[in-house]
Structure formats: C-alpha cells, structure tokens
Amino acid sequence: MGRSSATGDWWKLIDDRAHTPAKPINPQLVFWELSKRLPDGAILASDSGSAANWYARDIKIREGMMASLSGNLATMGPGVPYAIAAKFAFPDRPVFALVGDGAMQMNGINELITIAKYWKEWPDPRFYVLVLNNRDLNQVTWELRAMAGSPNIPSTQTLPDFSYAHYAEQLGLAGIRVDKAAGVGAAWETALKSDRPVVIEAVVDPDVPPLPPHITLEQAKSFTEALLKGDPDARGIMEQAFRAMFPKKTE
C-alpha cells in the first residue's frame, strides 16, 4: 500500500469516527468541523487532556498556519495563555485555543478577563476559545482505565458544570453553546462571523475513547479490569468503543 493510499484511508477512518453518534456530541466532530473551516494563517494552541487527542487527529494543518501544544503533553492550563500570547505577537491573524473544561476551570476562565480587556486593541478581533464541556477530567479518567485498571472515581474526576458561553457574554465577548451534533457546523459558522472574540462551549460525550493506533495486551487487560470493577460509565464506554472500532458514518 502506497503512502498516499494509507493517508487517504486514515482520513477516511477519522471522518467516519468523527461522525459516529454520541451523547450528546462526539468531541471528534467538533474538531473535524473546525478543521475544514480554518481560515488561512490560523494559529492554534491546544491544552493538555483529551482535547490534545482530537487536535492531533482531526485538525489538518495547512501551509502558513502555526500550531502548538501544551508542554510535554502533560501541563494543564497553557492553552488559552498560549493563544493570548500568539494574538499579541500576531494581532492580525485568527487565533484558536482548544481546551477541555478541566483546564478551562484551572485558569482559562480567568484568562477570558484578559481577552475582554485587550481585544478592542487588536486590529483583527478573530479569537476563538473552544471548551469541551464533559464535566470530567477526561484524559486522566482514560489513563486510569487503560494503565491502572481503575474505574472512573467520581469524587476525583467529576467537574462542576459551568456556563462558559454565558460567562463570556457577561464579559462582553460572544458566547455560543452547542449541545446537538447537527448544530456543530453552524456553531463554527456563527463564531467565524463574529465581530469579537468567541467562546464556543461544546457539550461532548466523555465516553468516546481516545483509542491509540495500536492497543497493547496490557492496556486491553487494564481497560477490561476497570469495567469489571464497576465503572459507572461502563455501558456508554462499551457502546463508544464498539463504534470507534467499527465506525459507521452518519449525518
């Protein structure tokens, strides 16, 4: 199989996985729909967490764009600050911060105040903060399942819900909340037409597994142990794992 054929097969798989149903939204779909709408010269900054998985898999970086990721794939919190720094360095370019709700609650909410203070000084107001709202420290939850055989522990993994879009509006920014798959594309279209920075709050399914390209026997064993120990999300996880392994694209 040639390189171009393998690449095409990979993008077909990612497309299908992004369009598999979830409750309420498949997080992969949010990134997939953004990717095909990214303006030329876009600068992207992803935080740690499951957002980094979908950023790496579903976003196609074109020539002329810039992209960064949280240091060493582990440090939480720099996504929004990275994006702010990029906007000050390149104020005439569109900037995107792609973060999970854990990182957003750590410091991203506060950084919105900085954006609200300075955005009118930017010659180009295009600045977008995507927040994946799944009320879970999702990457750690999946690491515990796959590496330690530990089920989800709500007392340590569950996050309080927060209205990120509404909070943005209180600061004078634009806020968009999307909780239906059919509305994801339209949410991005609306955001990209905004005359001010936007917070896009996507309510996504925490049970969508960040399956690696190759699953080791030890990972599979730990994952099974986590479910057998009474993971509260076991049913949803099994549904999403099956869909990820055998994706069937739906519109």
- Please give the full DSSP string across 55-69, using - where no structure is assigned: HHHH--PPTT-EEEE
Q: What is the mean pLDDT of residues 32-61?
A: 95
Q: How confident is the model at residue 74 (pLDDT cuts 50, 70, 90)?
A: confident
Please state the pTM of the whole predicted model.
Answer: 0.83
Q: What is the b/e burial string over 13-30, where b = at least 16 CB atoms within 10 angstroms of the residue's CB?
A: ebebbbbbebeebbbbbb
Q: How confident is the model at residue 1 (pLDDT cuts 50, 70, 90)?
A: very low
The pLDDT value given to residue 43: 98
Q: How confident is the model at residue 105 (pLDDT cuts 50, 70, 90)?
A: very high
Residue 14 has pLDDT above 80, yes or no: yes
The pLDDT value given to residue 244: 61
Q: What is the mean pLDDT of residues 65-92?
A: 92
DSSP code, position 32: H
CA angle 240, 244, 246 (to 5 degrees): 115
DSSP β-bridge partners for residue 96: 44, 128
Residue 83 has pLDDT above 60, yes or no: yes
Residue 231 has pLDDT above 80, yes or no: no
The Cα–Cα gap between 5 and 11 comes to: 10
Residue 241 has pLDDT above 70, yes or no: no
DSSP code, position 120: G
Q: What is the mean pLDDT of the chain?
A: 85
117 to each of 93, 129, 170, 173, how far by Cα in Å? Answer: 18, 16, 13, 10
Q: What is the mean pLDDT of residues 128-144?
A: 81
Contact at 8 Å (CB) between 79 and 103?
A: yes
**More confident position, 93 or 225:** 93
Map out the domains of the chain with their CATH numbers. Answer: 11-245 (3.40.50.970)
The pLDDT value given to residue 208: 87
The Cα–Cα gap between 73 and 140 comes to: 12
The Cα–Cα gap between 137 and 130 comes to: 16
